Amino acid sequence: FLALYLIINGRKIKHLSSIETGPDMQAPSIAIIVAVRNEEYALKEALTSVCNLDYNNYKVLVINDRSTDNTGQILSEMQAQYNHLSVINIDMLPEGWMGKNHALYTGSTSSHEDYMLFTDADVVYHKDVLKKAIHYCVKNNLDHLTILPGIISPSSRLNSVIMTFVIMLTALQRPWAAKIKTSKASMGVGAFNLVKREIYERAGTHKAIGMRPDDDLKLAASIKAAGGNADVLYGRKEIQVEWYTSVKEFINGLMKNIFSGFKYNAFLAAGGALGTLLFFVLPIPLVLIFGNNMARIFVICTVIFQLTLYGNMPGSNGKWWYAFLSIYAGIIMVYIILKATITNLYNGGIYWRDTFYSLKELRKNK
């Protein structure tokens, strides 16, 4: 039933590729704000795509947050190449902030444009993305637009795990309901959070979520709570990101923020692990081994719905057969939830980008 619920509601989300722009399109000013820290691996390709967008009223502001690799050199070379690209270097992290949140806030206070697009340093854009996105915002009087990117990876195992995580996140956030004013549902992603400056300031800016590792989701929630009009689009072909390169990297990456999704509560985290186990891991093998014929028919129906669900999730590129790895992916997700919970409680906090944040600090901003 959950699979069917997600399939039906997922179809309510429009695709960026279907958005058309006309010659009379408004072009409000936009500041694209990118927080970077030791991003030499993917920075040049991603930032080049940002600097070559087909839009005539935007600037790019990159906040270099204490990088120690070749990121600074790459930024200097690109700044010399693109006159609409500016770089701000941060040498120290103030108390009460996570690095990325502070960097994005610094970008917001160093710009004055009508809109701000908060994006990550490894996202590759198609040239028409900004033009279509801002046209959709103006036409629908939106304060906040999230575009869900296509996630690329050479590994089928990794893709199956990522798609399982996306399914869990989608069920929790209900992105199709973000545009409903009376709903508390909201959705934000690091790849594309386009925000009108007025509502951003009314929602408290990144100051209100300064210690949140899931800043993209919480920014969306704060804007919705402030009365902003929001919507979500699929952009799997127009915006692409190689989120992680291996299952091990994916596991390590989620160590920093999965516990925050359970409000730093061990009981909620245990419930999340149990729910994941019951939905993704146990039903099929248990029923096939111990169930009667009627139960096996339900299992076959479940598999069909799962295949359809995986094939329609953003980032899957229609590869429905990822569902056959859902048991493996479910086990990985259970492992991540339990390991993050135990590790964070044992350490009394989380490590993110070589900085330690205590649970006491984090819980103040939950």
pLDDT tens-digit profile of 250-268?
Answer: 999 898 889 988 989 999 9
Half-sphere exposure of 114 (CA within 13 A, CB side): 11
The answer to whether the CB of 314 falls within 8 A of the CB of 163 is no
Q: DSSP letter at 203?
A: T
pLDDT tens-digit profile of 143-188?
Answer: 999 999 988 877 778 888 888 888 889 988 999 999 999 999 999 9
pLDDT at 263: 87
| The two structure tokens encoding residue 163 | 């798609």
Q: Which of 87-96, 120-129, 319-328 has the lowest mean pLDDT?
A: 319-328
Taking residues 308-322, what's their average pLDDT? 69
| Distance, CA of 48 to CA of 171 (rounded, Å) | 34
Phi and psi torsions of 239, nearest 5°? -130, 125
Taking residues 52-69, what's their average pLDDT? 95
- Continuous H helices in the chain: 2-10, 43-51, 71-81, 99-109, 129-139, 156-173, 197-202, 215-225, 247-254, 266-276, 283-290, 293-312, 326-347, 359-364
* Of the candidates 139, 126, 127, 113, the residue with the CA atom closest to the CA atom of residue 26: 139
- The Cβ of residue 51 has, within 10 Å, a number of other Cβ atoms equal to 19
pLDDT at 316: 58
Name the pLDDT band for 14 (thresholds 50, 70, 90): very high
pLDDT at 366: 59
* Of the candidates 112, 123, 119, 128, the residue with the CA atom closest to the CA atom of residue 30: 112
The residue ranking higher by pLDDT, 242 or 125, is 125
Whole-number average pLDDT of the chain: 90
| Distance, CA of 193 to CA of 222 (rounded, Å) | 13
pLDDT at 35: 97
Span between the terminal Cα atoms of the chain, in Å: 31
pLDDT tens-digit profile of 196-207?
Answer: 999 999 999 999
58, β-bridge pairs: 30
| Distance, CA of 76 to CA of 237 (rounded, Å) | 30
Q: DSSP letter at 20?
A: -
Phi and psi torsions of 226, nearest 5°? -85, 5
The answer to whether the CB of 149 falls within 8 A of the CB of 314 is yes
Say if residue 361's pLDDT is above 90: no
* Of the candidates 251, 248, 206, 217, the residue with the CA atom closest to the CA atom of residue 63: 206
Say if residue 274's pLDDT is above 90: yes
Q: Residue type at 145?
A: L
The SS3 of residue 34 is strand
Say if residue 292's pLDDT is above 90: no
Say if residue 315's pLDDT is above 60: no
Q: What is the pTM of this model?
A: 0.90
Residues counted in the chain: 366
| Distance, CA of 26 to CA of 24 (rounded, Å) | 6
The answer to whether the CB of 167 falls within 8 A of the CB of 181 is no
pLDDT at 317: 61
